Chain A
Amino acid sequence: GIQVEQSPPDLILQEGANSTLRCNFSDSVNNLQWFHQNPWGQLINLFYIPSGTKQNGRLSATTVATERYSLLYISSSQTTDSGVYFCATCEEGNNDMRFGAGTRLTVKP
């Protein structure tokens, strides 16, 4: 099955800093989503982005499907951005979204 790798595994930032999270996947995909799991465990969908670029406030994401990677950009980070960011994807015709191991982000005031 498809392999999903995320980097870095951990990231510590000062409030106001920018960051880039990366997701590499091993095969062509029909679905790619970025999620934020907050400290209370809730999973929030950030982007549905199997290809192209999207922006939502301080967050943006880009997926280059031909090169099999996706990037999540966080600008002017805030303490509420802390948590774990997951990339999940699945192949055409498949049912199970495969999750990466996540990037644990800590934003310090």
Chain B
Amino acid sequence: NAGVMQNPRHLVRRRGQEARLRCSPMKGHSHVYWYRQLPEEGLKFMVYLQKENIIDESGMPKERFSAEFPKEGPSILRIQQVVRGDSAAYFCASSPRMTGTQYHSGANVLTFGAGSRLTVL
């Protein structure tokens, strides 16, 4: 059972270009979360999606950032017109159930991918 798969692992972009990061959740997981980690900092929530729906995007910057989780294929985090401040590690996580509901079975446990490291020159 493959874990959460993210690609690319490393991405270099020049200012003004677009970055696309992909995430395939674990098999059987229908809840996908994107987090951003700046150097030497903790992870910050960006967006929570289920298939074909954005459920919570309260952590997404208002401009240039978008996310989708289509019926078929991976979830995609898209950053348009990248700037140097976008340089960070972007982590995707998935869970069988929503994180905020307690399950004795731990069905709301988050499993993270290896991350995509974006460098903007």
Contact = CB atoms under 8 A, between A and B. Distances in A.
Contacts, number: 72
Interface residues of A, number: 25
A80 to B, nearest CB: 18
Contacts of A48: 106, 109
B82 to A, nearest CB: 20
19 contacts: A30-B102, A30-B108, A31-B100, A31-B102, A31-B109, A45-B109, A50-B102, A88-B110, A90-B100, A93-B100, A95-B48, A95-B100, A96-B48, A96-B56, A97-B45, A97-B99, A98-B45, A99-B35, A99-B42
B101 interface: yes
A38 B114 CA distance: 11
A45 B100 contact: no
Interface residues of B, number: 28
Interface of A: 30-31, 33, 35, 41-43, 45, 48, 50, 86, 88, 90-102
